Amino acid sequence: MTSEEYQNGQIILIDKPLHWTSFQAVNKMKYALINKAGLPKKFKIGHAGTLDPLASGLLLVCTGKFTKRITELQGQAKEYTGTFYIGATTPSYDLETEIDQTFETSHIDEALILETVKQFLGEIDQKPPIFSAIKKDGVRLYEHARAGEIVEIAARKTTIHEFEITRIALPEIDFRVVCSKGTYIRSLAFDFGKAMNSGSHLIALRRTKIGDYSVSNAMDVTLFEDSIITNLV
């Protein structure tokens, strides 16, 4: 692909590695395009939807004139797969923080799990995790959390289009979810455990689709860099 094509606009499907921030992935791509494809330093590039460092999977990266499409792409439904750990919670609702409470799980069986799924289909009220980038009084929630401050978080409307349990091996439950923009899968994990009179937190998460874009068609950031080198040879 030529530098002109990147500037005219491209949507690049990247499979973000675990432990990387979305910013790191985009920054690495920008560095490669500037230094290997000769694009100007003010070249526009951005992603359509942040993935947490503890999540892997599909990241839509827009270049050039296509950065104007980021808002449109962010609004599309997203599909995730992952794993809930039943019987314990963490303050961050995932593995970023240590377990703070444990709960009884002897009453939980397949029937209860599948029945509980039904409570989360359709439009639901969901509170974002305290460890999130949403701002409260001009300060990001995770900053309040790390300072030990207690803040009231308002619930938001979100939609779960599909919610499927794909494996039950307690204390682990694997799932597949298709949801609207703004859905926090970490909050879904927490709320799911609470709905079963227990606790739960997220221990694995992978974004597999955004709209019609699939991670099966995505490439690793390193492969993207190599493709630039190949195209210049």
Contacts of 115 (CB under 8 A, 6+ apart): none
Residue pair 162/81 in contact (Cβ under 8 Å)? The answer is no
User: Distance (Å, rounded) from C-alpha 53 to C-alpha 152?
Assistant: 25
DSSP H/E element including 201: strand 200-210
Report how far apart, in Å, the C-alpha atoms of 121 and of each of 75, 125, 152, 179, 205 are. Answer: 19, 11, 25, 9, 19
Q: Identify whether 52 is a catalytic site residue.
A: yes
Q: Name the active-site residue from 15, 52, 94, 191.
A: 52
Residue whose tokens read 């599948």: 114
Paired strand residues for 217: none
Q: What distance lies between CA 69 and its chain's CA centroid?
A: 19
Name the residues annotated as catalytic.
52
